[in-house]
Amino acid sequence: MQDNAELAGNGTPFHAASSAEVRTTWWYAWDKYIVPDVYTSMPRELAAIRNAVAMIDMSPLPKMELRGPDAHRLVDHLMTRDMKRLEVDHVMYTPWCNCDGLLVGDGLVFRLADDWFIVSGETGHAWFASQAVDLQVEIRNVSDDYGILSLQGPRAFDLMKAATGRDWSDLKFSQIGRATIAGHDILVARQGFTGELGFELWVPKASGAAVWRNFQSVGQPFGVMPAGEYAVDVARIEAGLILVSADYNGAGPDPRTARVDVTVDLNITPIEAGLGRLVDFGSDFVGKQVLQAAAASSETGRRFVGLQYDTQEIVAAAAERSAYGTALSRVFWGSMPAFHAGQPVGRASSLAFSPTLKRAISFGFLPAELSSPGSVVDVELKDDEGASIGMVAATVVSLPFIEIRRSKG
């Protein structure tokens, strides 16, 4: 295990402050960075997200800046949503596809000025550049310019008021504001990846440690707690939020930032990813014709659903194969085959134990006739290395698994 001095070489802007809070040996490799996976206890950190407020380092998330007279044209050409509706100082979540209608990625688009956008999501520089030929737009990787501190939980507004001295109730979901914290100017967006109320703070690299320590100091009355990537991963599954590399393979040419094996058979359309509501056929975007044809076809394809399991059945299956402690040791990133009446019908992904629900859950990609709540399929469990553990039953449930509260308040 690397010590903190070694880790600092690949640390985020918050590492100097956040690493001192780690009480476990759980670290997470994300692109070229290493961030805490568990500070103290995943269930405790998830409880802070759901019941108080958590501080989460999301800095390794790729960030790409688009600037120039044609920046808006490029964004509107690539995204499946009508980006003409995106006003300055607002954020929009959207997928983007290749010419075959397959998801290249999904993420947030920030509009900071008429001709200035930032896209945060999977790495996409090569794909965006390939679509910007003859356009007046500069595409720049700004991943290392900012740290992202996510404040998530029902006490997030209290924490922001204590840190800034102002009431943030007027900042609505997906709006952008500015603040000065501990003498440092930062960008504030009402966003997050947990389903809870919260903010994403874009902090200049040199200001990271000071901003982290300030929030930690003023947040004690609100039960503030640092939360690692494991708790965030479980939180986003509970909230029904799909994730590239964990649930699907990005179909673009850029290298992946997650250190997992991805294959072309995990390429999917936004409709298959449960993001059909974010496909605006009134816009002209890359992949539109293919998606229109698919939407008009009688072949409905697979549906994105929730699956829940008998946790004891998973534990028993793992113990029988001497794989005890691996099946639910973290979130399973990858694909597990799903069967009905002995025949393959789809797959499952993002299997995890949810302390909030007190049961094992995952996502599923199943045919329409098996996508209704109450339908039952068999899922072939995989261990941490992808080896088969055995078959367990899974019941289809509606997504999200929990109530989404992020846009309230």
Domains and CATH numbers, the chain: 4-61+144-227 (3.30.1360.120), 63-141 (3.30.70.1400), 298-409 (2.40.30.110)
**Closest by Cα among 46, 28, 44 to 36:** 28
pLDDT band at 235 (very low <50, low <70, confident <90, very high): very high
Instruction: Provide the 10 A C-beta neighbour count for residue 346.
Output: 21
Q: What is the mean pLDDT of residues 380-391?
A: 87
pLDDT band at 5 (very low <50, low <70, confident <90, very high): very low
Q: What is the pLDDT of residues 23-49, one digit of tens each?
A: 999 999 998 999 999 999 999 999 999
Q: What is the pLDDT of residues 110-129, one digit of tens each?
A: 999 999 999 999 899 999 99
User: What are the start-end ranges of the H helices in 8-51?
Assistant: 15-18, 42-51
The per-residue pLDDT for 277 is 95
The per-residue pLDDT for 263 is 63
- Between the CA atoms of 370, 373, 377 and 379, what dihedral angle is there, to the nearest 10 degrees? 120
Residue 7 has pLDDT above 60, yes or no: no
| C-alpha–C-alpha distance, residues 273 and 275, integer Å | 5
Phi, psi of 393 (to 5 degrees): -80, 145
| C-alpha–C-alpha distance, residues 92 and 107, integer Å | 8
Pair type for strands 224-226 and 53-57: parallel
Q: What is the pLDDT of residues 290-341, one digit of tens each?
A: 999 988 886 768 999 999 999 999 999 888 887 766 788 899 998 999 999 9
| C-alpha–C-alpha distance, residues 236 and 193, integer Å | 6
